[in-house]
Amino acid sequence: MTVVEDIVMVPVPRSRLIEVYRLLGQQLMPPPGTNERPTDSLARLVRESSEHARALLGLLALEAVDSPLPVEEAASKLGRNLPFLGGVVGGMQTKFGKDAVPFERVTVDGRKAFRIDAETAARLRELLGPQ
């Protein structure tokens, strides 16, 4: 049985073609069935994220380490509302992949919260620098 995939044409300016080929050649997502990320994916996430996403990552790296930070509290500390924060997280998932965000979304006492492990938080603080 032959499987035929759809071919998608994506317009790319000629001046950016090599850059696009390099990007397509990188391993951006972990192998299926693993939780591992390529070593530079966290650096790429920080480098290519929006200012708002970096602010969220910085906040989580400081205040959600191994202990959940309620989503409402995160939004308040960033001076934003919940829909805006949802858009930031959704944007990160769209750009980098649903499993590429370095934090967990958990529910504690019926409230949604963020949590990040200590090792990832330390690496994020290093990558983000002083804020």
pLDDT value of residue 73: 96
Neighbour count for residue 30 (Cβ, 10 Å): 15
Angle at 41 between CA 79 and CA 99, to 5 degrees: 70
pLDDT value of residue 16: 86
Along the 131 residues of the chain, how does pLDDT read in single tens digits? Answer: 566 677 778 888 999 888 887 777 665 555 555 454 545 788 888 988 999 999 999 999 999 997 899 999 999 999 999 999 999 999 998 888 887 889 999 999 999 999 999 999 999 999 998 76
Boundaries of every domain in the chain: 40-128
Distance separating alpha carbons of residues 2 and 102, to the nearest angstrom: 38
Angle between helices 41-48 and 51-63 (to 10 degrees): 130
User: DSSP readout, 30-50?
Assistant: PPTT-----TTHHHHHHHHS-
With H, G, I as helix, E, B as strand and everything else as coil, classify residue 104: strand
For 40-128, CATH gives 1.10.10.10
Q: Are 55 and 46 in contact (CB under 8 A)?
A: no
Largest Cα–Cα separation, the chain? 56
pLDDT value of residue 113: 95
pLDDT value of residue 96: 85
Distance separating alpha carbons of residues 76 and 73, to the nearest angstrom: 5
* Pure H helices in the chain: 17-25, 41-48, 51-63, 71-77, 82-96, 118-128
pTM: 0.69
Distance separating alpha carbons of residues 105 and 125, to the nearest angstrom: 19
